[in-house]
Structure 1
């Protein structure tokens, strides 16, 4: 389409604002074309800069050119009279102009800028009985402002289309309509544009003002200054009270009658009839395309057969000519013409029989409440951010009316509450931010684990272990001597002697503890995990995999409790397993690596983390649960991990292991560890 364009024509009140869109309008364009619906007829009446163009509508019943339109350029006839389409005869017609990238002056009279070869009335001179003035406002002087409120994937945009079809005097203000207007202006959304959603489609037109949606902001600012009836189908925005408030502040009650129309629940009969007609029309169109395809295929086959037949005739003629030549050379009688069989008449095809078959809706299609869509109504990410704030509109927000067109307010309220609750169980909380308490606990855990690992390293070093033991013994002796000296100075020699005897008994007990029965040790009775009594830490035998499991226990425990605390939503105490990777990364800024555990299913990992993490529900929809309270001691997770390690080792020793997996360790070698089931 050219950069500059001018269309001059007529349209009906229900017509699109764009000439050449629909059967209710006609136009002449500056390229010399007469346009009606999909028909374009060349008139060669081109017009351009500094020219005066006049459109003549002849409705005089005495004229031989009644019900025609003509174009005049600079006072001279440029086209012959053209008959009005049947759809426009006898209807009220409005002068309509579409233009792009040019300046235009419009003159409705009473005097033409350039005189015509005859005298006729201009629009400003028309008699009252020849014109119809459409009131743009209600009797109270206000225009109508409508906010439809519905739920995604529940017929919202089909209802809007139905509303506009039944109320052609309303103008839709929405992003989808901006792209529609752009397309009708010759600005196409490129094929590589993202899918977006029905509510917020993505724009890739190459026009910056459209692609960054600044045109939408301009329209939102300008529209309230123009008194028209508006419908604003912003699905997500109309469900959020704060965004409804912004819209009502722009369209004030002084100029607009502001209505909210709630369409939720079971659709009414008129809507069902509308979508069934829409489905039937689509099926008829598809059937028509299929018939055309079959007809074209049959025609291609007929033409191919015809070409084959003609080629065979040519071949027979050549062969006959060759035979006659040979006969002449041999002095023999020339062969006569061969009898050519008549071509068979084409049999009636199945396509022809199917052509008369009526197109109907199936029972399943008739039972549909809403039409399926190829794209979502609200983008998943946008829905996840906003659905928790969805609420029904109230008159107290500033609406003059709140209408419930499908079901009553109580039913709509219950439906919305149920819908939001279901989304809370399945949608991610995109705007969730890790709180300060989580960060403190996570930093504390990292510091403590580092200390534990240093303790394990020191214990495994004989020299460091011996030095630590000697240091502990020296400190104990020094402390004992100081306490004895204090008692002696106080004159309590008996007390000093008793203290020494007690210290000797404690030393003997400590020496006995060095021979603890580690096999039958009750890990949950250990008071100090850094020294179970003989200087050995409870985690002395932890391998790489045990430290991984220990960290996983605590990380999931902390994640679940932090999610509940930070989100602060009683309906969402936890999240489904399918969102674990998302929240794990949001909190810990690292990927959730399930593969590192070398187990086939998450249930198998839960067995390794038993008494710490469990799953309520089945599969990916099941919700994670922390088995320990939020203030559980860090030592508890070490004890659980050691207990699991011992149980796993016992099963390995007993030969009851069903799987042995290899874990990569930072030192570059693989450590094998077992997991038993049952």
Structure 2
């Protein structure tokens, strides 16, 4: 007997490291293991909360996750993690067997190793138990029992609530009845009132039927139950899942067992790939290439807006033409001087003749123009820019086209993960905010479905297998996005002139915050950029150079990405010579144009 006792004292204790995936029964397996093996002690934050609660303390922190729940007991040693650190230091010195259910840490090799080294192999048999794949029948039976128990408790609570509500209604009716009888007694003779008084109904309580609760077929088919709080927070999961790996004996484990399935390598690989395609890249940061492209776009768009403003204002148009003529003359003189100094008088004369020919007035049929064949969008030959008739909606769509184009290409480049070349529409707002520092507000486009929005800018964006796809290569010239927008404006105009009311755009201008922070700027809703009421665009505009700040109120005006400090006022553009109400025009041109390439037929 003495030898046996000594042998038991010398036997190693065990330290179990469960390794499983989030939301796949991890903590239920740990609970079942501890029920079957009461000699093991759990080392985890959730166990600390349980111990503290049994001691009479209340955790006031919100429930965030099962793996790392927040502690808010009001006791510094508990809330600041001191207790966890003490237990981690003391536990390896105790002659006890432990279970370490650290879900995330046990999946990440570096963190797993840090825990493992605390339990030296001389004192502990260190074992990893992998929980992936189809669970055992014993596990599923216990899960079914737990689900049925939870469902029964909820049903009992619901029935109790209903009984209390019915009783409240009965007492209210009884109170009303007695009040009515009291009024009748005052109006009639007391004797007549006594005769007329109806007999009070007996307060009979219905006998409650036994509560029958069963699991549905769908619930019976579930391998794991859904917990009240997630096993891991979205942020912790997004930051760590790419590094998840299975344990191995090379890490120092005495044993690695697979409780549910042997094919865990494939299961983990498929799970990680699925997460890559559906989770947000929380730590993604815009790269240098994006910042340079975005800065160039802001500067270029500012120049386009100024060009439109100059074209619409006769005085500005004349001044711009004079500046252009002076610049061209200066350039001509410089080139002639170089040729003369080189002794090439013929070339100098030819250059001068060519310049004279260019000064001749150029007739431009704007309506029949082949938009995609334009070489200089800022000057079609007569000083008119291709975007002369852009209204607020057109500038907004132009901005949106380029923003989504550069966002998708930058995401792929900055993340540099071949398994994740793009993202789904549900994460568009997250990445839009991360890159452009403003909100993506789809509701401002006045469309019911995202598919309707895709139809408008399908020359730039599409969806493939559930993920957004840039239709144009990364090096697409900025001018091409203006051409796409002008094509779409013309097509809208033709459709509206043909009687298609669905072609009208009904954008809502984002509200511009007041400088005092107390609401929309003065004048919002009256044609300023801060208007919050929807407007129908027929293509004509009296909004001047209003910015494309549809995504959270930011302004592109002046190339600035900060919020507008003042609202736009209606422009003082002179009326067109031939006013019209057709869609997409400031008043010039024929809505029934027969030329030009069709936006909706373009592939």
- TM-score, reference length from structure 1: 0.64
Residue 491 of structure 1 deviates from its aligned partner by: 6.4
Superposition map of 1:336-375 within 5 A: 351=209, 354=210, 367-375=221-229
Residue 592 of structure 1 deviates from its aligned partner by: 0.9
Distance (whole Å) between structure 1 residues aligned to residue 156 and residue 394 of structure 2: 68
Residue 507 of structure 1 deviates from its aligned partner by: 3.1
Match of 2:393 in 1: 545
Distance (whole Å) between structure 1 residues aligned to residue 372 and residue 55 of structure 2: 76
Does 2:130 match 1:262? yes
Distance (whole Å) between structure 1 residues aligned to residue 214 and residue 385 of structure 2: 79
Query: Which structure is higher in RCO with an 8 Å CA cutoff and minimum separation 6?
Result: 2
Select 1:518's aligned residue among 366, 382, 392: 366
Q: Which moved more, 1:601-610 or 1:370-379?
A: 370-379
What's the CA shift string for 1:47-76, capped at 9, x where partnerless?
xxxxxxxxxxxxxxxxxxxxxxxxxxxxxx
Q: Which of the two has greater strand per residue?
A: 1
Match of 1:381 in 2: 235
> Structure 1 residues 570, 184: closer, same or farther in 2, change over 3 A?
same
What's the CA shift string for 1:107-162, capped at 9, x where partnerless?
xxxxxxxxxxxxxxxxxxxxx89xx96987663xx332211011122221111112
Residue 478 of structure 1 deviates from its aligned partner by: 4.9
Superposition map of 1:213-612 within 5 A: 213-276=81-144, 278=146, 351=209, 354=210, 367-408=221-262, 411-480=263-332, 495-508=347-360, 511=361, 513=362, 515-612=363-460
Match of 1:49 in 2: none
Match of 2:490 in 1: 646
Match of 2:56 in 1: 186
* 8 A Cα contact 1:392 1:413, kept in partner: yes
Residue 269 of structure 1 deviates from its aligned partner by: 2.9
What secondary structure does 2:127 align onto?
Answer: strand
Distance (whole Å) between structure 1 residues aligned to residue 343 and residue 282 of structure 2: 72
> Structure 1 residues 461, 166: closer, same or farther in 2, change over 3 A?
same
Gaps of 5+ in 1: 1-127, 305-343
> Structure 1 residues 147, 492: closer, same or farther in 2, change over 3 A?
closer
Match of 1:202 in 2: 70
Match of 1:630 in 2: 474
> Structure 1 residues 486, 265: closer, same or farther in 2, change over 3 A?
closer
Match of 1:326 in 2: none
Residue 639 of structure 1 deviates from its aligned partner by: 1.4
Structure of larger gyration radius: 1
Distance (whole Å) between structure 2 residues aligned to residue 284 and residue 523 of structure 1: 68
Distance (whole Å) between structure 1 residues aligned to residue 317 and residue 206 of structure 2: 99
What's the CA shift string for 1:224-252, capped at 9, x where partnerless?
23342111011122111221122123223
> Structure 1 residues 135, 386: closer, same or farther in 2, change over 3 A?
farther
* 8 A Cα contact 1:611 1:640, kept in partner: yes
What secondary structure does 1:565 align onto?
Answer: helix
> Structure 1 residues 482, 571: closer, same or farther in 2, change over 3 A?
closer
Distance (whole Å) between structure 1 residues aligned to residue 152 and residue 392 of structure 2: 67
* 8 A Cα contact 2:444 2:507, kept in partner: no
* 8 A Cα contact 1:199 1:234, kept in partner: yes
> Structure 1 residues 217, 473: closer, same or farther in 2, change over 3 A?
same
Match of 1:24 in 2: none
Distance (whole Å) between structure 2 residues aligned to residue 158 and residue 214 of structure 1: 27
> Structure 1 residues 252, 441: closer, same or farther in 2, change over 3 A?
farther
Match of 1:661 in 2: 506
Match of 1:162 in 2: 32
> Structure 1 residues 277, 135: closer, same or farther in 2, change over 3 A?
farther
* 8 A Cα contact 1:239 1:390, kept in partner: yes
Distance (whole Å) between structure 2 residues aligned to residue 348 and residue 605 of structure 1: 58
> Structure 1 residues 147, 466: closer, same or farther in 2, change over 3 A?
same
What's the CA shift string for 1:292-347, capped at 9, x where partnerless?
x89x99xx9xxx9xxxxxxxxxxxxxxxxxxxxxxxxxxxxxxxxxxxxxxx9x99
- TM-score, reference length from structure 2: 0.71
Select 1:144's aligned residue among 3, 6, 14: 14
